[in-house]
């Protein structure tokens, strides 16, 4: 691409560094911003710079926060004895959007994956054990993606938690709502038969 | 979407204002930036703010520029007597990328479209007529999109230019390279037959 303005070229190149944004899309976005008022574009740029510079990570659960402790951990209405263990911030946002969970979180920052060189020491696992030691946690709920790495991580942490009086659970896996039996993979289908539910509990949860 | 950080929420909302960027994509982009060094994110934000604040429009051709006159108009190697009339900056970038055009440009800033409330006065048509009066322009090449609005705009400007000794041409329309005859629309196919070329000139242009 040939540009007649270095300012334009620079802005397009910066946008094109973002994942999934090619040169053509970057140009479209920059030309859109060029049509906006300078004040609005200033707000856009400053929101991003400020976010990166000032955002912190909760000292307790490692969620993104505007202070030392995130708004979920510091909310006294939430059940502090219930901790949902997730891989990353995106999972917290997904679960929060269901508005069905009233406990707190613990963000591991990844999952154990030897092939990617990620071992237990790179994750916030030790911090979770310390929380179980210090806080009055009654239940740890694992909400990790259902794959080998997720299961390995659950197995590793569960072993570490064996000596503590804490209930350890995992979110249910099975056929998704709206999913069709014949298209489900064998693993999911097999597990959903093994972990079958009494009809009464299924009906009452609807 | 529920966020535990106002800084994060603000950045996501700003990204989601861009065309074609939804909330989920905006979150993905912001979380990517969150993983980068603050300095790099600063460069990103500042490039965009600086672009919007400092970019200018060439006083001669209305292209984007870093000075009063754009780098194409001020380039003495380019044929100043040849002016290609386009709708917008994107078209300039597309033509420049072919590296086949050595003249200058004139950006109309749109095309005549009564349904969208765009008349000749909202476009840089008068400035084009003045350029023809003042500069030694030999040929005006219209490179507008081949539709009714484009043709209307060409017709309107051509009428205004009738009293000046300037050659007026338009880029060729026809079957695109790699295109297939049977899938071409009737209008294009009909025009490509009407405006057929002698085989000698076709072969020599390859």
ipTM of the prediction: 0.81
Q: Rounded to an integer, what distance in angstroms lies between the CA atom of residue B132 and that of residue B161? A: 8
Q: Do A48 and B38 touch (CB under 8 A)?
A: no
| φ, ψ dihedrals at A30, nearest 5° | -65, -40
Nearest CA among B19, B4, B44 for reference residue A50 = B44
Give the pLDDT confidence of A71-121 residue by residue, as tens digits. Answer: 999 999 999 999 999 999 989 998 888 888 999 999 999 999 999 999 999
Domains and CATH numbers, chain A: 6-54 (1.10.8.420), 74-171 (3.40.1360.10)
Instruction: Note whether A36 contacts B52, CB cutoff 8 Å.
Output: yes
pLDDT band at A195 (very low <50, low <70, confident <90, very high): confident
Window 76-105 of B, Cβ < 8 Å to A: 89-90, 92-93, 96-97, 99
Residues 15-44 on B with a CB inside 8 Å of A are 15, 17-21, 25, 27-34, 36, 38, 41-44
Scanning every residue of chain A, which has its alpha carbon at the shortest distance from the alpha carbon of B7?
Answer: A51
Per-residue model confidence as pLDDT tens digits over B82-126: 999 999 998 999 888 888 899 999 999 999 999 999 999 999 999
Say yes or no for a CB contact (<8 Å) between A7 and B51.
Answer: yes
The dihedrals phi and psi of A183, each to the nearest 5 degrees, come to -95, -5
- Collect all residues of chain A within an 8 Å Cβ-Cβ radius of residue B16: none
Angle between the B89-98 and A23-35 helix axes, to the nearest 10 degrees?
Answer: 150
Taking the alpha carbons at both ends of chain B, their separation in whole angstroms is 55
State the sign of the Cα–Cα–Cα–Cα dihedral B191, B196, B201, B202.
positive
Distance from CA of A49 to the nearest CA of B (A): 5
pLDDT of residue A179: 73
Name the 3-class secondary structure at B141: strand
Report phi then psi at A168, rounded to 5.
-120, 125
B48 vs A63: CA distance, rounded Å:
29
Residues 6+ apart with CB under 8 A from B151: B144
What confidence category does residue B132 fall into, taking pLDDT thresholds of 50, 70 and 90? very high
**Contact status, residue B109 vs residue B88, Cβ threshold 8 Å:** yes
DSSP codes, B96-111: HHHT---EEEEE-SS-
Contacts of A55 in chain B (CB under 8 A): 5, 7-8, 34
Tokens found for residue B125: 């048509």
Decide if B97 and A8 are in contact by the 8 Å CB cutoff.
no
Q: What number of residues does chain A have?
A: 206
Could you give the percent of chain B with pLDDT greater than 70? 97
Cβ contact (<8 Å) for B1 and A38? no
Partners of B44 on chain A (C-beta within 8 Å) are 14-15, 17, 48
Rounded average pLDDT over A135-164 = 91
What is the C-alpha separation between B88 and B102, in angstroms, rounded?
Answer: 18
């Amino acid at each position: 691409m040939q540009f007649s303005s270095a300012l334009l070229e620079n802005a397009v190149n910066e946008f094109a560094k973002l994942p999934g944004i090619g040169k053509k899309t970057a140009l479209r976005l920059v030309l859109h911003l060029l049509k906006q008022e300078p004040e609005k574009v200033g707000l856009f740029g400053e929101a991003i710079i400020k976010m990166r510079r000032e955002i912190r990570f909760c000292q307790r659960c490692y969620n993104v926060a505007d202070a030392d402790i995130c708004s979920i951990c510091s909310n006294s209405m939430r059940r502090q004895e219930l901790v949902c263990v997730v891989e990353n911030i995106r999972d917290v946002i997904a679960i929060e959007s269901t508005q069905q969970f009233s406990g707190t979180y613990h963000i591991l920052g990844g999952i154990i994956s030897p092939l990617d060189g990620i071992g237990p020491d790179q994750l916030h696992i030790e911090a979770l054990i310390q929380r179980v030691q210090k806080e009055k946690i009654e239940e740890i709920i694992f909400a990790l993606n259902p794959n080998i790495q997720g299961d390995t991580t659950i197995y590793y942490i569960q072993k570490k938690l064996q000596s503590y009086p804490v209930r350890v659970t995992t979110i249910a896996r099975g056929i998704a709502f709206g999913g069709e039996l014949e298209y489900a993979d064998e693993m999911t289908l097999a597990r959903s038969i093994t972990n079958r539910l009494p009809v009464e509990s299924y009906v009452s949860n609807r």
